[in-house]
């Protein structure tokens, strides 16, 4: 998987996230919309994490294709 593929996925998810935020701000979001929004936020975190892994592996001379999507618990457990 290339970085561009990951970025394309991020762009697609971000557009859907924006649409769901719009529905929520208008008060027209359904329970399914809210659940999907939460899922998208996790997926985006996983995609960004994968992209960071790929870039770090490349920077230090390792194969970026060896990076992998980490589970939700790992990615969501980061603290800033």
Q: What is the pLDDT of residues 43-68, one digit of tens each?
A: 999 999 999 999 999 999 999 999 99
Model confidence at 79, in pLDDT bands (50, 70, 90)?
low
Its pTM stands at 0.89
Q: What is the pLDDT of residue 80?
A: 53
Widest CA span in the chain: 49
For residue 76, tell me if it sits in a domain.
Answer: no
- Whether residue 79 lies inside any domain: the answer is no
**Has residue 77 been placed in a domain?**
no
Query: How many other CB atoms sit within 10 Å of the CB of residue 54?
Result: 21
DSSP 38: H
| Cβ–Cβ under 8 Å, residues 75 and 45 | yes
- Domain extent, residue 27, equals 3-71
> What percent of the chain is predicted at pLDDT more than 70?
96
Predicted pLDDT of residue 30: 97
Question: How far apart, in whole angstroms, are the C-alpha atoms of residue 1 and residue 66?
Answer: 10
The pLDDT value given to residue 76: 86
Does residue 23 lie in a domain region? yes
């Amino acid at each position: 998987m290339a970085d561009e593929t990951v970025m394309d996925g991020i762009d697609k998810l971000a557009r859907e996230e924006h649409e769901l935020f719009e529905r929520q701000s208008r008060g027209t979001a359904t329970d399914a919309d809210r659940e999907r929004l939460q899922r998208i936020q996790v997926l985006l975190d996983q995609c960004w994490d994968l992209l960071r892994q790929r870039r770090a592996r490349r920077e230090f001379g390792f194969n970026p294709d060896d990076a992998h999507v980490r589970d939700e618990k790992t990615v969501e457990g980061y603290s800033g």
